[in-house]
């Protein structure tokens, strides 16, 4: 079955930086990643290439930074007073989680710090990086009406109590 819009696709993948060999992320040997095409669940460059595959096929897919997590935005780097991080044992490269202006969770990376200031980066840790996905399409099926409506694999709710919510 070809992958089309509103398909539920299950993939197994291994992610490295393009040209590198260190594994950044992988679900090999674990449950596949399930998503609905056309809903923005995965990075655009990967989804665009996956539609050329069918169930059981594997491919190495290079995704440029612009179609992954975007380019580095120098304006997304900020230096704040060290007092705002009181009680934290800071390390370069560590990720901190906070709340954005609209209540959303924001992840920042500590770029540098000294006794007075802390430089944090709001860019995604993979921003500016070209990525290489080694992907196998484990399964493809049409999404149900519930899945299309909710945007969630499995439909996001149940009416018969079978999911433990009733």
Q: What 3-state class would DSSP assign to 2?
A: strand
Structure tokens at 127: 């921003």
Rounded to whole angstroms, the Cα distance separating 13 from 43 reads 13
Q: What is the pLDDT of residue 106?
A: 87
3: its two tokens: 């992958």
Domains and CATH numbers, the chain: 7-68+128-150 (3.10.50.40), 74-121 (2.40.10.330)
So what's the pLDDT on residue 20?
93
What was the pLDDT predicted at 155? 63
pLDDT at 128 (0 to 100): 96
pTM, two decimals, is 0.79
Note the pLDDT of residue 99: 81
Q: Burial level of 160, CB count in 10 A (0-12/13-18/19+)?
A: exposed
Burial profile 37-61: b = 16 or more Cβ within 10 angstroms, e = fewer:
bebeebbebbbebbeebeeeeeeeb
Of 144, 153, 162, 138, nearest to 53 by C-alpha is: 138
pLDDT tens over the chain, length 166 residues = 678 889 999 999 999 999 999 999 999 999 999 999 999 999 999 999 998 999 999 999 999 999 999 999 999 999 999 999 999 999 999 999 988 888 888 899 999 999 999 999 999 999 999 999 999 999 999 999 999 899 899 865 444 444 433 3
């Amino acid at each position: 079955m070809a992958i089309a819009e509103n398909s539920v696709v299950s993939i197994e993948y291994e992610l490295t930086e393009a040209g590198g060999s260190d594994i950044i992320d992988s679900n090999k040997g674990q449950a596949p990643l399930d998503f609905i095409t056309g809903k923005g669940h995965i990075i655009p460059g990967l989804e665009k290439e996956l539609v050329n595959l069918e169930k059981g096929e594997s491919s190495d897919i290079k995704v440029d930074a612009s179609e992954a997590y975007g380019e580095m935005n120098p304006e997304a780097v900020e230096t704040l007073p060290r007092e705002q991080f009181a009680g934290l044992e800071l390390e370069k490269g560590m990720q901190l989680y906070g709340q954005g202006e609209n209540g959303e969770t924001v992840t920042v990376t500590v770029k540098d710090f000294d006794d007075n200031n802390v430089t944090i980066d709001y860019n995604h840790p993979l921003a500016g990086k070209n990525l290489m996905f080694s992907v196998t399409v484990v399964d493809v099926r049409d999404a149900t009406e519930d899945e299309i409506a909710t945007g969630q694999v499995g439909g996001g709710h149940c009416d018969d109590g079978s999911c433990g919510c009733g």
